Amino acid sequence: MKYTIAGLLATLATSASALPNIARSSYPTASASSSAAARILLGNSGHIYVADFSPKTGKFELTLKQEIEGGNSWMAYYDPNLLYAVDENSDELRLFNLDLETNKLTLKTKKAGSVGVVHLEFNSDKTRLVGAAYGNGTIDVWNTEKGGLEFVKTLKSPGKLGPDKERQAASHPHQANLDPSEHPR
């Protein structure tokens, strides 16, 4: 199935992330004058997709289209084959094996954390994963050493949760970023 850029983004993109390139025989070899082929990970309610972009045609081709329950609104890829995906409509964080050679997605495990996680981020050595939970104002910390998924703790947003009275009843974290300096505290 082939899509134009606008069509693919309009119909699928609830969550999108870049994936590492896997050589595919249908793509021309990249040169200094052409853009390289790209793979994009997309998630929305009920599905996770992988789309390959061909710079030659300017089109995306869905190479993986898998039904996955829940609101797959945020995913974090851990090379070479692990995909962590939240279900923002529940308390689940799922760990999948994503085989980019065969375009197969297999659930390894799922664990309970906070409800409404809408963002995931790894630390620099990919041993911890943090998730911001819009639903209840918390941040979950997960141990991801050796490709695992073990809950460590939940942090409550500091201070009083104060709303933007014009548009919400309470404050909610949308993102949790780690200090890039990695200075010990």
Task: Tell me the average pLDDT across 137-160.
Answer: 90
Model pLDDT, residue 134: 80
Model pLDDT, residue 185: 55
Pairing of strands 104-112, 92-99: antiparallel
This prediction's pTM? 0.77
Model pLDDT, residue 137: 82
Per-residue confidence band for 37, with pLDDT thresholds at 50, 70 and 90: confident
**179 or 28, higher pLDDT:** 179
Task: Tell me the average pLDDT across 84-100.
Answer: 96
Mean pLDDT, rounded, of the chain: 81
Q: At residue 13, does pLDDT exceed 50?
A: no
Q: At residue 76, does pLDDT exceed 80?
A: yes
> Is the CB of residue 48 less than 8 Å from the CB of residue 107?
no
Q: At residue 75, does pLDDT exceed 90?
A: yes
Rg (C-alpha) for the chain, rounded Å, is 18
**120 or 13, higher pLDDT:** 120
Per-residue confidence band for 84, with pLDDT thresholds at 50, 70 and 90: very high
Model pLDDT, residue 157: 78
Domains contained in the chain, CATH given: 2-24+36-156 (2.130.10.10)
Task: Tell me the average pLDDT across 57-63.
Answer: 93
Per-residue confidence band for 150, with pLDDT thresholds at 50, 70 and 90: very high
Beta strand extents in the chain (DSSP E only): 2-4, 15-19, 38-54, 59-71, 75-78, 82-86, 92-99, 104-112, 117-122, 128-133, 138-143, 150-156
